[in-house]
Each structure stands twice: as C-alpha cells, then as structure tokens.
Chain A
C-alpha cells in the first residue's frame, strides 16, 4: 500500500466531454505529479503541483489542468476530450528531496474516450 488513492478506477467518456480525475495522498506529501500512460508506453509527465501551485509542466496542452488542495488531495481536469486521451492516468506524491526522495504512486484511473 502506497497510501495514494485515485478515483474513479475506470471511466468512459465521449469525445468533446470534460473529465475530472482525483487523487488523495498522505499527509505531508506536498508535491504531487500527474502522468499519462498510453497502452504499451511509459508514463509521460503532465504537470506537478507543490503547495497548491503548479511548478512544472510537461508537453501537454492547456486543456489539461489541475488543482491541489490543502488536504493533500488533487485533481486532473481534461477539457474537450479527444480519442488520444484514452490512457491510464497516474498520480504520484513525493516526500523528501535528493537522496531521501521517495515516490508513491496511486493505482491509476483508466480513461476510455469513445
């Protein structure tokens, strides 16, 4: 158990719709990152939040947005869904820095866009 939970586990949407995915991490995990993993590929970095501010972003368009809340939960919002958004979405919280860094991954939300 990593202490990181995600909801929902599975989701089916249609093209053009909007979706919100949720992640809850352990107390004290101030940094949370979101990743998109297409089938057969490694995860791709979407963005990172630290103390409720986005402080890093990968190569994803603005229709991918997020929020982080004081209770160590966070959201990934995707607007105007496209077929290629079908993937496993993972959140990961992080504690420590440098040699003491530890990453904790959630189980993921599998999104299918039809």
Chain B
C-alpha cells in the first residue's frame, strides 16, 4: 500500500516569499499529481509528473523517482496563492489516487 506524506502541514509566509512544499511516497508510482484545493472543496489539478520538472507561471513542480520525492515551489508568492496544496500518487492501475493530507498555505500581504 502506498503511503504519501507531505510537509509542512501548515505554512504561513509573507507575500513575495519563495514557497516549497514537499511530498514523499513509499512505493513506485507511474505519476504524481499536485492539486490545489480552495475553501469550499473544489480541487484543481496543477501538475501531473512522471519525471523531471514542470513549470506553469509562478509554479514549479519537480520529482525525483529514485528518491520517491516531489516538491512544489511557488515563486513570488501572493495572497491569492493561499489554499490547501495536495500531492497524490498513482500506480497507473485501477487503484485511484493516494492522497497526502495536504499543506495549508497562507500568504499574508
């Protein structure tokens, strides 16, 4: 059974700071997803990674398959980035996604 751990659980930072959220998993996966969840529940898919690095605007996601570790970075953070960020792993089969507990990020003006 895959275990997905995220850190930190809670993070408060000032506007403009560089943010890093970490995710580790216990078994081999076919892909790792980074998701954003706002109050009220809606989840938006940010990235799906199977190797290397992806960038979208101020967001960067990296994955190290050998170390079973992924990071989500936010550059020049802004209060609108405040949300819960969740990583989720898939083995590619019919087992669905295994989610981390999420990182609650607050960016203060």
Q: Of B42, B93, B100, B101, which is within 8 A of A105 by CB? A: B42
Check if A102 sits within 8 Å of B98, measured CB to CB.
no
Interface residues in A24-50 by Cβ distance below 8 A to B read: 33, 35, 37, 40-48, 50
Check if A42 sits within 8 Å of B100, measured CB to CB.
yes
Check if B48 sits within 8 Å of A56, measured CB to CB.
no
Q: How large is the interface on B (under 10, 10 to 19, 20 to 34, 35 or more residues)?
A: 20 to 34
Q: What residues of chain A lie closer than 8 Å to B50, measured between beta carbons? A: 98-99
CB closest residue in chain B, given A40: B101
CB closest residue in chain A, given B42: A107
Interface of A is mostly: strand
Count of residues in A whose CB is under 8 Å from the partner chain: 32
Given contacts A41-B101, A43-B99, A99-B50, contact A104 B94 (CB under 8 A): no
Using a CB–CB distance below 8 Å, which chain B residues touch chain A?
4, 30-31, 33, 35, 40-45, 48, 50, 86, 88, 90, 92-102
Using a CB–CB distance below 8 Å, which chain A residues touch chain B?
2, 33, 35, 37, 40-48, 50, 55-56, 58, 88, 90, 92, 97-99, 101-108, 110
Q: Which 9 pairs between the two chains have the least Cβ-Cβ distance?
A: A56-B94, A45-B96, A42-B99, A108-B41, A105-B43, A55-B94, A107-B42, A42-B101, A33-B96
24 A-B residue pairs with CB within 8 Å: A41-B101, A42-B99, A42-B101, A43-B86, A43-B97, A43-B99, A45-B96, A47-B96, A48-B96, A55-B94, A56-B93, A58-B96, A97-B92, A99-B31, A101-B31, A101-B48, A105-B43, A105-B44, A105-B45, A106-B42, A107-B41, A108-B42, A108-B43, A110-B41
